[in-house]
Structure 1
Amino acid sequence: MQVVPVSQTPLETPMEDSSLTSASTMAARTIVIDHGSGFLKAGLSGWNEPQMVIPNIVNYVPCRENPGPSYAQRRVGLGIDICHPDTFSYPVQRGRVLNWEGVEHIWSFVLEKHRRGQKDFPVLVTESPLKVPADRRKTLEIMFELLDVPSLLLADQLQMSLYASGLLTGLVFDSGYGLTRVQPFHLGCPLTSFGKTLEFAGQDISTYLFKSLFKEAQDQHNILQLDTVTAIQMNKCYVRHNLPEVLGPCQSLPKGSDEGNIYHLPDGTTRELTPMQQLAPEMFFSPQMFDMPGPSISQVIMESMQACKTSRHHLLLTHMMACGGNILYPGFSQRLLNELTSQKHSSKIILRTSSNPHFSVWLGASVVAHLSTYRPQWISKGEYVEGKGL
């Protein structure tokens, strides 16, 4: 078994299929937008990282000129307004757009920052596999009618993650803030009927920490509590690669080190974290420990792979791509590989990871923006006006 880091410069890595080769670009630069449930990543194509990463958060505050609760009397802004912390919300949740006005406001901000007086940049927007035709129509309407985009490409997020690794065939595992998804691919085409989507991801770890840390006093609009939960997730949570062995017959979680389980609050006080809090990402592997129904992510991956043709199993097992912010938890990738190997009873499993797994979708889209094979899929504003892009 093996965990293979993927190069951070896939723009220099040849694809497996010669048909996917770089060609003359549609424009010198394309604005690439990957709008996830937790963060939006945006930037100009040709770079290996997005130049803009902003929280997927908008706020609504009363207008001074005409204060009041109605739609016409409030103003939309980005992020959390510290003067009105109870007014923010997430316009995209679990991969679904719930607030198109908020999405439009974020996209408008992104385009304004990248255009810099030049409005002829084409735009590539990544799409969630949960997309519906109505979402596509609304995206085209906003981009062409309200934001005056000259041409647009809508690209599947998981397919972009695959291309970021330089592969055409493989199995993509992506676990972000709102969704955990598994999708096998063959020669660049998703084997859609074998894909799996779980409405379980990073925000469920946040919710668990909120409830266990603050109990009855929890308030997900409290900035101090938000910062505390985020800091603990980033700095204190981890995955043990051998937890099943450590548990043994007593089924009790191991305690962390004396310093490792202490979190220092901004006011100078400290909080001792329980083993369950530090090992909160374990819910991906042992959901029953957290009174969750499951299945575990390793089971989902194996079910997706085994549903494919037997002749493709070896290629999928040796071309697994793990991406999304959750694999950044220390020990996550190794534990996932151990679980997969245990279920398959085989050493021929290669799990590929990127040093920037939370940017994999954006990076793949940055590559695709310059591929001639995708040129027929671009929609121009003229085609949209004629109704050809709908």
Structure 2
Amino acid sequence: MESIVLISDIVNIIKKKIKLILTITLVGTLFIVVGSFFMNTNKDAELYEIKISGIKNYVEMNDMVRYDVLLEANTVDEFYQSEAIKTALYNLDSTKLSEQFIQSTLPQYDGSEEAKKQLANRVFTMFEVKTSGNSRIFTLIFSKADQDTAVYLARYIFNAGANLINMNSKYVSVTEIAMSQKAISSGWSTPKVAAASFVGIFILSCMCVILYKLLRQVIISKNQMKDRYDYDILKNIKSSNDDLGDLAAIVEYRLKSSMVKVMVFLFEQGAQNSNILKKIQKNMQESGKSVAIIRTNASGDDTGDEGIFYYDNIVKTEEENKKFWLQIEAYDYILIETSTDTLEKILFTHKNIIIVVQSGITSFRKVDETIEKIAIFDGLMEGFVLLK
């Protein structure tokens, strides 16, 4: 039978597990975002290393300015006097290729010795001397370099020419290098990136599984509630058998198999179904069972008939309630005709029951809400039958 899962069921699950859902979602998303971020920065780092490596290799292959010669300079004067910078400045005078960069860096540059020294000083300040034992290394301070200066530095300090930084028809921008340099020093390794992304996806997958299981419990519960009571069988018997003998047999079977003696039939107000219980009672009595019918409405035309009781007429106090159920429990089986409005009161009095719903899915939902309010009796109540 098709499952009936209400929107309210899903909403209730989310409400009850909202903290868990939000926590799992947040943690899983965080892992994926962090993993993706470092994966991107690692790509930048790899690109940076390839470009810088290409520049150095080009310089060495063409026997131009040796990068390691620059490492010997400790002061501006030493830097300016080094063969490396002299070669770079000589080449600077012999080409017009990058004058725009020179002019933006030193507008007063005119090729004079003083201008060259100022230029060398400007370049030197873009290096940071770090001492580690007896070795000194120069590190580019990209944060201090604008794009023009960075391009100038790449062209003339490495003396590699335009082709070296024009890879893929794109200049090496200071932003790109700075980001890549940062990624080299602080980025995660590829295994860590993969692990972070995997953990994030795994956590989110767990959340989906948890939600599925919670919702599946609702679906199974709804199915069991209906399928266990042979909805189609009861409906067909009711429409084809006027004396309801087979229905009475099924009712008795359900009571026996559930080891309970009370069955509640829920009727909406105004429903003309009083004869259903009387026919079931008659058939069960013919098989040798004593059967009581309890009605919770105020009065009826069969008041005083044997085995038929009107709860609201008799029970006014707690003492009367005890006496009422004491005499009723002498019967083998008890059939209660009531409405959802008084169901809760009946349940608190007599817990071991089977509930039969008469009038379709509307009442089914109302009863479902009523049962939810009194969930302390879970396991003692069997469920529902829909009698169209």
Tell me which protein shows more helix as a share of its residues.
Answer: 2
Normalised TM-score (structure 2): 0.20
By relative contact order (CA 8 Å, sep 6+), the higher-ranking structure is 1
Normalised TM-score (structure 1): 0.20
Tell me which protein shows more strand as a share of its residues.
Answer: 1
Structure whose alpha-carbon radius of gyration is higher = 2
